[in-house]
Amino acid sequence: MVSALGMTAVLGGCGSTGSSDVTLRLVAADYGDSAATSSKKYWDKLAAAYESGHPGVKVEVSVYSWNDVDRKVKEMVDAGHAPDLAQIGAYADYAAAGKLYQVSDLLSIRTQADFLSQLADAGQWKHVQYGIPFAASTRVLFYNKTLFARAGITPPTTWAELASDAKALRDKGVKYPYALPLGPEEAQAETMQWLLSGGYTDNGGNGYTDDIGTYTIDSAQNIQTFTWLKDELVDKGLTGPVAPGKLNRADAFTAFADGSVGMLNGHPALIQQAAKKGVSFGMVPMPGRNGTARASMGVADWMMGFKQNGHAEQIGDFLDYVYARKNVLAFSRAYGLLPVTDSASGAMSQSDVAADKSLRPFLDQLPTSQLYPVGKTSWAAVSAAVKKDIGQAVAPGGSPAGVLTRLQAAATAADSSDAN
């Protein structure tokens, strides 16, 4: 996070929305880590700038922490008081319940066409887009340059090289040669990154689903991936003193910033966390079984418009403003996140600003990234099951095939239940 938003609001689309005296209520997530960096400052500036060009429209923004925001919106919807707009972590349940506007009913064609295609596709429920991508992130492999130099090694490009590097780091006394956070905080992320890197001929695995959206958690490739992790990293003592199933992502990041980790998968927030502690680090694409992984894991947060209050025209006009290039760039730069539009991504990739340059390794991964299957209403249950159980796959005496088969059965059941 940064200490100042450094945002210049841009007036765009200042014409009439066709009606007056409309109040739009927006509930948004807080990406800041203190009152000084709260997203509320961003939204208040943006709303004030929009209102100055649209006298008949007010935008009231409520910002909640990520621990609370999804629950707050659910409570509002369940009580019959849905907001006009919500910027939260998932949209599919509301789309399935018929509570959301289709994106095509809200946004101008120009704004719709500007979204990165794979993010727009991930916003679809039953082949219709309801979720509007708001912020994105990918993962790359971070490595500690000081520890690598001490061990006389270079960043890995294959799994075999990763295991070899991990052994060299362990032999030099590094506490976590490769940090493998499969604890309940965010195990679904580490799991997906490894699944995507686990192919043979195309350097890409299945992930959680196949190309048509069917869960394939227990595919032969995925079982082989977790068997390799167990046999070649965990069982050989190359993942550190904490069992992967008990190591959370936040703790792994803290250990990296403290200089105790040789390498781990990380997202952009780790840049500043490590830099603040003076760690010299590099970033490379995640290794694959036979070479650089074909796909990185992507994550997106979502904006959506609720139909209850009937403000489609005003919602759409405001969102066209929100997604103007300069506003997308301002938010992305404030919070170290990736732009979700082609225009803003292009501007960031060509920028000489140091903060933009630091995000390029992540930006480079975005066009080929694969996201969680967020368009499936079953995903929340499947993700919870992965968080709870995947660590057992690499535990002493654990069975990767057995654990993935159980997770597949749970996913199939959840998917079937949601389809009925």
> Which of 126, 82, 83, 130 shows the shortest CA–CA distance to 104?
130
- Count Cβ atoms within 10 A of the Cβ of residue 416 and give its class: 0-12 exposed, 13-18 middle, 19 or more buried: exposed
Which phi and psi (to 5°) does residue 337 adopt? -115, 165
Query: In sequence order, what are the beta bridge partners of 58?
Result: 23
Pairwise CA distance, residues 125 & 377, whole Å? 9
Q: Which residues contact residue 278 at a Cβ distance below 8 angstroms, ignoring those fewer than 6 apart?
A: none
Pairwise CA distance, residues 393 & 260, whole Å? 25
Q: Residue 312's pLDDT is what?
A: 96
Q: Two tokens at 174?
A: 């590094």
Give all domains of the chain, ordered by start, each with its CATH number.
22-137+300-371 (3.40.190.10), 140-295+378-419 (3.40.190.10)
Query: In sequence order, what are the beta bridge partners of 129?
Result: 124
- What averages of pLDDT result for each successive group of 10 residues across the chain (420 residues)? 28 40 95 88 96 94 92 96 96 96 97 95 94 95 98 97 98 98 93 85 67 91 96 98 95 96 95 93 93 85 96 97 97 93 95 91 89 92 94 96 97 79
Q: Residue 355's pLDDT is what?
A: 87
